[in-house]
Chain A
Amino acid sequence: MSRIWGVLAWFAGIVFFAPVAWMFLTSLHSESDAATNPPSIAAPLTLDGYSEFFDGGAWPPLLNSFSASIGSTIIVLLLAIPAAYALSIKPVEKWTDVLFFFLSTKMMPVVAALLPIYLIAQFAGMLDNISFLTLLYCSMNLPIAVWLMRSFLSEVPREILEAASIDGAGLITIVRRVVAPIAMPGIAATALICFIFSWNELLFARVLTGVVAGTAPVYLTGFVTSQGLFLAKVCAAAVVVSLPVLIAGFAAQDKLVQGLSLGAVK
């Protein structure tokens, strides 16, 4: 009986993985081998798709994406960790209300704010500016980060905190020696989720950036307008752009689950 389940699970795994595997294989084929019917699986491998992608000006968008994603993740953590501290370890009164206010802003679809944000950017001369995009990504991820960090910080046992303060440890020592070691995995999970969401974002980037500050997803959308064969090139681009997320996500699968469920699943 259990063998049937195993076979079934393997079958499902292969079906779901097939498009990813095919993307990877196609990225290593030449354009003419990529566009055949029936598909040519055993065609010779080449890195032409990749070199065409990188030579075609992929670096600036990739760097933009990195700076917007990493920059916003750092700012979000700097804002979210103190806030989460004030919602868990030394809670303010009505802290549940505050917490749910944070979450409720996440429920508001970003499209609703698209136009005023565009007008503000236009007015402030911040269109096509990666700092402005970074700031928006901060607001997009901050509620999630506050929720996650609160859920992780509330795992710090009260008794230890009290014992430390009775022993005369100051705030800084408590944060550094007691809270930080326990909260570190949570910070990692939060950073992972914030990075992935910023890296994937398309709508804001598409509307607010252009030639200078375009991110990798925007660059991808403009990739297939040219005539002729482009499958291998598109696959190579998709592989490269997805690679940071794939690596981070595979490396931290359990963190991914914690983060995606807003810390509800431990």
Chain B
Amino acid sequence: MAVLTRERSVVDRPPPAPRKSYPKWARRAPLLPALIFLIVVTQLPFVATLVISFMKWNSLDPTSRGFAGFDNYVNVFTDPDLRSSIVNTIVLTASVVLISLVLGLGLALLLDKKFAGRGLVRTMLIAPFLVVPVAAALIWKHVLYNPEYGLFNGILNWLGFSAQPDWISSMPMSAVVLSLVWQWTPFMMLILLAGLQSKPVEPVEAARIDGASPFQVFRYLTFPHLRQYLELGALLGSIYIVQNFDAVFTITSGGLGTANLPYMIYQTFYQAHEYGEASAAGVIVVAGSILIATFALRVVSSLFKEEAR
């Protein structure tokens, strides 16, 4: 198997030997505009963030600008609000990714079966992902969660329950998580469904003939095949949800203990004008996501190597 994947691997395949008539610069030329653009627009600002994070800089107090050493980092780590925002980011990301991955797996397995109207159900399931995130957050906040005339309490009323909970204030974090799970489950489902449909049929048929139960087929054939797709979904999902701003901003405005790091940075910079601290928090977010990213890159590159061609 190892030999096989090695042979099929893209990354290992040596590129065709450069011809003498085709100089190096000509190969590089098409790459340069994109590379230079990206370095200028994404890497340089980050260097600036790094520099500002060591500075004392409040935009409302321009006279006292100067070098701050690690003060901003100390402030970030000792400020209870910022600390709790780190915890919130982890809780939010982990719960949204895990729940939507499990739900997405269930839905993908359902959609992999044959039934009447499968295409329509698939389309209906994708819809939440295609609603613009801030619009979705507004709908959840005002149209679904609203304690007086929201749909959730309306349905409770309909079904004859007298309880009319105030969803957002009684369970703020779950309210944000639920709205994000609704949006991200279709994403996970799409990736896992593509994984299921790329699964070779022969081993499953052979296993069935040999008397394997559906559970055994799932446990020993489907799941191992799906593993890399589960990892891909989890990591791409994490990258996007760690950075989530729209839902927290719209549904709770960062209140009620739901502020995550992106919201906190936004607030420190936008409202408090503490440039140094906002930058320090930014550097911490980057450090955190480099951790995730190292994982992510490994998974993506392993998936990459197994691409059949």
> Are the C-beta atoms of A36 and B38 separated by less than 8 Å?
no
Pairs of residues from A and B, 6 with the lowest C-beta to C-beta distance, nearest first: A6-B115, A82-B30, A107-B293, A116-B48, A238-B135, A139-B41
Assess the A207–B133 pair: CB atoms within 8 A.
Answer: no
* Interface of B (DSSP majority class): helix
Chain B minimum-CB-distance residue to A265: B194
Q: Are B27 and A91 in contact (CB under 8 A)?
A: yes
The distance in angstroms between the C-alpha atoms of A112 and B44, with both chains bound, is 11
Also in contact, A98 and B35, with CB within 8 A (given A9-B115, A115-B278, A237-B135): yes
Q: Report if A221 contacts B (CB, 8 A).
A: yes
Mask: chain A, 137-172; 1 = CB below 8 Å from B; 0 = not: 011001100100000001000100000000000000
Answer whether residue A56 sits at the interface, using C-beta atoms and an 8 A cutoff: no
Which of chain A's residues 53-99 have a Cβ closer than 8 Å to chain B? Answer: 79-80, 82-83, 85-87, 90-93, 95-96, 98
Interface size class of B (residues with CB under 8 A): 35 or more
The answer for the CA separation of A26 and B191 in the assembled complex, in Å, is 31
Q: How far is the CA of A224 from the CA of B138 in the complex (A)?
A: 9
Q: Which residues of B contact A (CB under 8 A)?
A: 10-11, 15-16, 18, 22, 24, 27-31, 33-35, 37-38, 41-46, 48-49, 52, 106-107, 110-111, 113-118, 120-136, 138-140, 142-144, 148-151, 153-155, 157-158, 182, 185-187, 190-191, 193-195, 198, 229, 232, 236, 239, 242-243, 245-246, 249-250, 261-262, 265-266, 269-270, 275, 278-279, 282-283, 285-286, 289-290, 292-293, 296-297, 300-301, 303-304, 307, 309
Query: Which of the residues B110, B116, B144 comes within 8 Å of A8, measured between beta carbons?
Result: B110
- Interface residues in A23-46 by Cβ distance below 8 A to B read 23, 26, 34-39
- The interface residues of chain A lying within 8 Å CB-to-CB of B10 are 154
Question: Which residues of the other chain, A, contact B194 by a CB distance below 8 angstroms?
Answer: 257, 261, 265
Interface-centre pick from B27, B130, B307 (highest chain A CB count, 10 A): B130
- A104 interface hit (Cβ, 8 Å): yes
* Contact across chains for B37 and A139 when beta carbons are under 8 A apart: yes
Q: What are 19 of the A-B contact pairs (CB < 8 Å)?
A: A10-B121, A12-B110, A19-B136, A19-B182, A35-B148, A102-B34, A110-B243, A116-B52, A139-B38, A202-B134, A203-B246, A207-B266, A221-B138, A249-B129, A257-B194, A262-B236, A262-B300, A264-B300, A265-B229
CA distance A200 to B246 in the complex (A): 10
Is the pair B239, A85 in contact by a Cβ cutoff of 8 Å? no
Interface residue tally on A, bucketed by range: 35 or more
Of the candidates A111, A136, A246, A265, the one having the most CB atoms from chain B within 10 angstroms of its own CB is A111
Please, which residues of chain B bring their CB within 8 A of the CB of A103? Answer: 297, 300
A12 to B182, CA, bound (A): 11
- Which of A37, A154, A202, A217: most chain B Cβ within 10 A? A37
CA of A230 to CA of B110, assembled, Å? 38
The answer on a CB contact under 8 Å between A37 and B38 is no
User: Which of B155, B182, B229, B265 interacts with A111 by CB under 8 Å?
Assistant: B265
The complex places the Cα of A11 from the Cα of B220 at a distance, in Å, of: 29
In the bound complex, CA of A82 to CA of B31 (Å): 6
Q: Are A16 and B124 in contact (CB under 8 A)?
A: yes
Besides the known contacts A5-B113, A139-B38, A253-B123, 20 further A-B residue pairs in the complex with CB atoms under 8 A apart: A6-B117, A13-B122, A13-B125, A17-B125, A36-B154, A37-B150, A80-B34, A100-B301, A104-B293, A105-B42, A108-B42, A115-B282, A116-B49, A154-B309, A200-B133, A207-B266, A207-B269, A231-B142, A246-B127, A266-B198
Residue of A nearest to B103 (CB): A12
Tell me the bound Cα distance from A86 to B148 in angstroms: 59
Which residues of B are found within 8 Å of A47, using beta-carbon distances?
A: none
Residues of B with C-beta under 8 A to A112: 46, 49, 265, 282-283, 285-286
Contacts of B132 in A (CB 8 A): 199-200, 216-217, 220, 238, 241-242, 245
> Is there an interface contact between B128 and A234, defined as CB atoms closer than 8 Å?
no
- A23 & B139 in contact (Cβ 8 Å cutoff): yes
Question: Would A223 and B128 count as touching, CB distance under 8 A?
Answer: no
Which chain A positions have C-beta within 8 A of B117? Answer: 6, 10
List the B residue with the shortest CB-CB distance to A145.
B34
Q: Are A246 and B125 in contact (CB under 8 A)?
A: no
Chain A residue at minimum C-beta to C-beta distance from B113: A5
Quick one: which of B106, B149, B185, B190 contacts A36, CB cutoff 8 A? B149
The smallest beta-carbon distance between B132 and chain A, in angstroms, is 5
Which residues from chain A contact B135 at a C-beta distance below 8 Å?
Answer: 217, 220, 237-238, 241-242
Contact between B157 and A111, CB atoms less than 8 A apart: no
Complex alpha-carbon distance, A172 and B56, angstroms:
55
Instruction: Tell me, in angstroms, the Cα distance from A196 to B18 when the chains sit together.
Output: 38
A135 at the interface (CB under 8 A from B): yes
Shortest Cβ distance from B9 into chain A, in angstroms? Answer: 11
- Cα A154 to Cα B16 in complex, Å, equals 13
Known contacts A98-B31, A136-B41; is A107 also within 8 Å of B239 by CB? yes
**Contacts A100-B297, A139-B41; A202 near B249 (Cβ below 8 A):** yes
Interchain nearest-CB distance for A207 vs B (Å):
7
* A14 to B, closest residue via Cβ: B124
* Known pairs A139-B38, A253-B122; A92 contacts B49 (CB<8 A): no
In the complex, chain A residues whose CB is within 8 Å of the CB of B269: 114-115, 118, 207
Distance in angstroms between the alpha carbons of A9 and B24 in the assembled complex:
55
User: How many angstroms from the CA of A230 to the CA of B149 in the assembled complex?
Assistant: 12
